[in-house]
Amino acid sequence: MNTYNNSIANKGCVVWFTGLSGAGKTTIAQALEQRLIKDKKQVERLDGDVVRQSLTRDLGFSKEDRDTNIERVTFVAKLLARNGVLVLVSFISPYKKHRETARMEVDNFIEVHVNCPLEECERRDVKGMYKKARAGEIQNFTGIDDPYEAPECPELELMTHKCSVDECVEEIVGYLQKKKLI
């Protein structure tokens, strides 16, 4: 029997940031996390790079491993959200199918497309991943030799090459307030 608190006062949600590497998912999620903490909200951030160092360190970057990675993250996000946590998930999550599955499994799922042109993501690339992918040193790199299926109808689309981090955070906060999730 589940004993989690599912009251309106303890309503959690999952804000799922998706976009190319370098689009700004982590940067915006970190800024939003700080804003929510300041507002005394219960928040947890699940970041692709951090999760791969612990929960999914046994996985590589094959299609099958990416599928498993997103399945595990969806499960953790679902558990946290149903216990009243505002969960910020920042993963490339390139495949529409996986985001749709997460949406079906999680109450109060908010898809945020962190949209930035590939050229700008490559310019921002502090880790040098795009350069390595273009040189053939990294295989199955999203946006280069593996597809990114952009969301068709996300709740929010943030054009990070046109808006500041603070503007993006305010847009998300406004949405959460409108939906009475904060």
3-state secondary structure labels for all residues of the chain: CCCCCCCHHHCCEEEEEECCCCCCHHHHHHHHHHHHHHCCCCEEEEEHHHHCCCCCCCCCCCHHHHHHHHHHHHHHHHHHHHCCCEEEEECCCCCHHHHHHHHHHCCCEEEEEEECCHHHHHHHCCCCHHHHHHCCCCCCCECCCECCCCCCCCCEEEECCCCCHHHHHHHHHHHHHHCCCC
Q: Single out the catalytic residue among 21, 62, 90, 93.
A: 93
Active site residue 90: no
**Residues that are catalytic:** 93
